[in-house]
Structures are given as structure tokens and as C-alpha cells.
């Protein structure tokens, strides 16, 4: 029987993003995993946080696919303050990736982040936390590289460890 895993992924805006998401879903299924996403496999007519939590609680781990949702060509961070800085060509994922990653971490889920290489590394994408971020080009060929396959196997192994089984 497949192991349910939560897949955090924003609404796609390009065919390339959608193709990438479908390929990750196929890879997960090939590993005996069942990816579940609110708005793709699970639906609600209520506010989404409650449903996200319910779905996550029935899952053994979480995968976050972070790709560009917001692009800031020119901007200012901490505007008006002494530490203000200029932003040039900054790409950010959907804020839902941050929310869902935090929820998964609080639930004790083994967490695997797959991030588009041009994203700003902040929040759950920063180095030094309890999970690994696999930085990739948003191309399905990135998913066939050996290090990516090894990351999936290591993450799955953490899910199957007795300490993480429900």
C-alpha cells in the first residue's frame, strides 16, 4: 500500500512548472508514495489551513516544490529604515510553501524541499536547518541526476524509520 506524503506546491503559472510538478508526482508514485495536495488531490469548500492540517496529519512526510511565484525586478527591503537595501531581480516562491513547510516541521514530518535554483534562499530555503534543500533548474532532466534520486531515497528512509511511523 502506498505511503501518503504531503506535496506542497503552489498553483503553476507556466507549462514548464506544471510539467515539473507532474514529473515529481510520477517519481514519488514510482517510489511507492502517494502525493497529496490540497487543491490537486484533496479539496475543501472551507478555509484551507484546516484541510491542509488534516491531510498532513494523515501523511508520513512532506515534499515542498518551490518555484518562482513572485519576481521583483527593482525594489527595497526594509524601506525607510536604517538597514534598507535595494533588491534587484529577486524571485520568491508562494508564501504557502513557507506555511506548509512550517506546519510539516511542527508535525515532525521528514521534509524534502525541491527549490528552483533562482529563488532567494530565505525561510525554509535557508541553509542550516533540519532538512535538505535540493536546488534544481526547473527542468525534468534535473530530476534524473543521481544526487536528486539519492535525496529522495534518503528522505524516504527517514519516513520509514520507526521514530517517524504513525
pLDDT tens column, 84-107: 999 899 999 999 999 999 999 999
Give the start-to-end residue ranges of the domains of the chain: 3-160
**pTM (two decimals):** 0.90
Mean pLDDT of the chain: 91
Which single residue is written with the C-alpha cell 506544471?
18
Q: Cβ–Cβ contacts within 10 Å for residue 160, how many?
A: 13
Scored b (16 or more CB within 10 A) or e, 13-32 reads eeeebeebbebbbebbeeee
- CATH fold of 3-160 reads Rossmann fold (3.40.50)
Query: What are 7's strand-pairing partners?
Result: 63
Q: Is it the case that residue 68 has pLDDT exceeding 70?
A: yes
* Cβ atoms of residues 117 and 142 within 8 Å: no
Residue 165, pLDDT > 90, answer no
Distance CA 164, CA 161 (A): 6
Amino acid at each position: 500500500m502506498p505511503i501518503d506524503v504531503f506535496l506542497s506546491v503552489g498553483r503553476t503559472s507556466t507549462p514548464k512548472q506544471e510539467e515539473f510538478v507532474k514529473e515529481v508526482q510520477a517519481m514519488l508514485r514510482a517510489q511507492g508514495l502517494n502525493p497529496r495536495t490540497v487543491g490537486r488531490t484533496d479539496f475543501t469548500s472551507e478555509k484551507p489551513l484546516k484541510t491542509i492540517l488534516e491531510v498532513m496529519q494523515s501523511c508520513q512526510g512532506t515534499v515542498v516544490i518551490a518555484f518562482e511565484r513572485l519576481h521583483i525586478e527593482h525594489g527595497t527591503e526594509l524601506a525607510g529604515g536604517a538597514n534598507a537595501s535595494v533588491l534587484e531581480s529577486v524571485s520568491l516562491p508562494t508564501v504557502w510553501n513557507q506555511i506548509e513547510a512550517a506546519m510539516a516541521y511542527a508535525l515532525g514530518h521528514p521534509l524534502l524541499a525541491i527549490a528552483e535554483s533562482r529563488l532567494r534562499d530565505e525561510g525554509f530555503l535557508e541553509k542550516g536547518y533540519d532538512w535538505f534543500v535540493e536546488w534544481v533548474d526547473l527542468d525534468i532532466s534535473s530530476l534524473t541526476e543521481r544526487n536528486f534520486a539519492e535525496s529522495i531515497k534518503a528522505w524516504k528512509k527517514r519516513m520509514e524509520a520507526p521514530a517517524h511511523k504513525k
